[in-house]
Structure 1
């Protein structure tokens, strides 16, 4: 299984954990191996065997700046590697014991050959805003197709392509997918159709982390108390981050975010409880708290997604910039007001809110820096009962089809795949 896990992003780890749980439900004795940029970390968190992710084995993502920063050189190396991979697989298929890959690069192929299927679980990484991840995973899919290994995708946003190169790479990778599950009700489907990828194997369902466990009330209450909060007083879970913002914009942003949090604390008489989805979210929260006039509760970063989900589940509503707090809130029927200051998060957050028909609670940059937030927050509180019902209805519909793709795969495989070599 490949995905965005391995970096300590709470949402990505929740997706991974939920998918592993589903495989264990439909095929209790199956062998699961997780591709990870940090195998020891992922093994400890999910208790499953791990191998180096293609981004590390192929592109040295942990040691070079090629993967995350130097696009020009990444693109050049990508085409060279792709050529060597294709040649090596073709020779393998013909029974020729010759490879153009080093052992580290071959390890990905060797791992694939030991499994019946590749599952690329969800995230927002198959987009033009995360190009190296888009290209890496599409190359992985292309290799699977050459090896004759079926592959499926679940819980994705796909699109926001930068240029025709992105579209061509995506088309080659996604062309032979047996199943593509999307999480944004038609938005990504339209993007796929524009690249020529369409068919009944494509479905808009939900994020992989929509249905996953939460921490119980006692654990949540202890977290609030431990961080100088009042576990008997109502709270709003809040998430903020600096991703995609320039250094010039940060002071203006923190002041405005603090203003909104002060409004929640002073006008609504609710605690503001900051949650972190990544370690760097905590840095942003620190800056916002310094600008606030009212007090706030800051929960330290915790990689256990159940704790974060529990805090969200017991909130009156949430105010978030990131995508997975929305997903957790929907899964727990908690209303959402969210912010998107760039195309990447607008695409993700709008898609998530649209699943339950609540896109009106998304603030763009102009609305965020104006007075609109007050109306949105008022509406969420006034319409809480209706919003909760709408969320619950959609979540129950998703629960009924949760295991369908997994069961379909078991039927599709129908036994062991013949090995290539």
Structure 2
């Protein structure tokens, strides 16, 4: 996937001599990101690493209380604080906590940390409402990642027989299930809704002259985006015109592919950030468990192009694509303004980190 820590890791290497990542899949993390990694579920190794570190950074998390997740997410930074380490919560999102006891716990723990930055306005306002003082509104560092050179993208297009002279719609979808804390799996949405709406919508868009590219951002034992794409293609009339990228490319390359697109259809947060930062119009598909996608699109003044998955139909998708094409110049103007805002706020995040680790 576009690892939740990756966009921070990309820049944190400028500030720290050595970095160790706690991961669900350490082997994959080391192979793909070229960084030392240990399992979340090796307590002795985790504590050993914390003891020898100077700073503990949490990046890209969603802080909520789903399935006991609050305790799990805060346990390591809390231990780090007990051991006298600096703790930075960097560019996270948050969902409202339901129970007062958990709110109290969250407030007490987070108030001890040196720095907390939130990557969307809704999370920032929620933390402010909780009474936290050490918080700052920033953007996700994905906005600052540079697209891969055009020559690299042309190589990818050639491999998958993607035609640059055809109008491209890039697609990023979220798997139906999400692995939580290594041993449990949570159902995020009903996949059948997508399998009913998307094949018909994609065939219709291909009829209108569009070329569709599916871009996986997660291929690991934790999850594989391509499985859903294969199911969609199996139900399509124009199977050969729905190009599924089979391998996991770097964030720079994924951003470069999106940059060559006329628009992006996405259920995922980071591809949306990539698109907006490159001035590419977006359509977001969201549900209750993908609130950060909905919040991000709303903050970008693009809620008109946000689709509720539970009500999704092929006609709704086609209509949104047609509207984007019809109002392209107006939408582009909105997106360009948001792109500059995103980049400035993302730069602010690392200026704050630099200040607090000095």
Query: TM class by shorter-chain length?
Result: 0.7 to 0.9
Flag the structure with higher strand content. Answer: 2
Who is 1:254 aligned against? 195
Deviation at 1:401, TM superposition (A): 4.5
The SS at the match of 2:120 is: coil
Question: Following the alignment from structure 1 to structure 2, what is the Cα–Cα distance between the partners of residues 197 and 257?
Answer: 43
Matched, 1:296 2:242: yes
The equivalences for 1:404-415 within 5 A come to: 404-414=348-358
Question: Following the alignment from structure 2 to structure 1, what is the Cα–Cα distance between the partners of residues 81 and 302?
Answer: 38
Matched, 1:283 2:227: yes
Residue pair 2:149, 2:256 contacting (<8 A) in 1 also = yes
Who is 2:330 aligned against? 386
Matched, 1:122 2:122: no
| TM-score (normalised: structure 2) | 0.85
Q: CA-atom RMSD, angstroms?
A: 2.7
Residue pair 2:138, 2:349 contacting (<8 A) in 1 also = no
Who is 1:189 aligned against? 124
Residue pair 2:266, 2:285 contacting (<8 A) in 1 also = yes
* 1:277-327 CA distance string (max 9 Å, x none): 223211111111111122311111315222222211110001122222211
Residues 252 and 158 of structure 1: is their aligned pair in 2 closer, same or farther, counting only changes over 3 Å?
closer
Residues 165 and 290 of structure 1: is their aligned pair in 2 closer, same or farther, counting only changes over 3 Å?
farther
Deviation at 1:237, TM superposition (A): 0.3
Question: Following the alignment from structure 2 to structure 1, what is the Cα–Cα distance between the partners of residues 255 and 329?
Answer: 20
The SS at the match of 1:334 is: coil
Question: Following the alignment from structure 2 to structure 1, what is the Cα–Cα distance between the partners of residues 123 and 265?
Answer: 25
Matched, 1:356 2:300: yes
Residues 278 and 401 of structure 1: is their aligned pair in 2 closer, same or farther, counting only changes over 3 Å?
closer
Who is 1:232 aligned against? 165
Question: Following the alignment from structure 1 to structure 2, what is the Cα–Cα distance between the partners of residues 408 and 193?
Answer: 18
Question: Following the alignment from structure 2 to structure 1, what is the Cα–Cα distance between the partners of residues 94 and 346?
Answer: 20
Matched, 1:57 2:57: no
Deviation at 1:166, TM superposition (A): 4.2
* 1:70-99 CA distance string (max 9 Å, x none): xxxxxxxxxxxxxxxxxxxxxxxxxxxxxx
Point out which structure has higher relative CO (alpha carbons under 8 A, 6+ apart): 2
Deviation at 1:350, TM superposition (A): 1.3
Question: Greater Rg, structure 1 or structure 2?
Answer: 1
Residues 285 and 40 of structure 1: is their aligned pair in 2 closer, same or farther, counting only changes over 3 Å?
closer
Who is 1:307 aligned against? 253
Who is 1:375 aligned against? 319
Residues 211 and 265 of structure 1: is their aligned pair in 2 closer, same or farther, counting only changes over 3 Å?
same
Matched, 1:365 2:313: no
Structure 1 residue runs of 5 or longer lacking an equivalent are 1-8, 59-103, 415-421
Equivalenced residue count is 344
The SS at the match of 2:200 is: helix
Who is 1:61 aligned against? none
| TM-score (normalised: structure 1) | 0.73
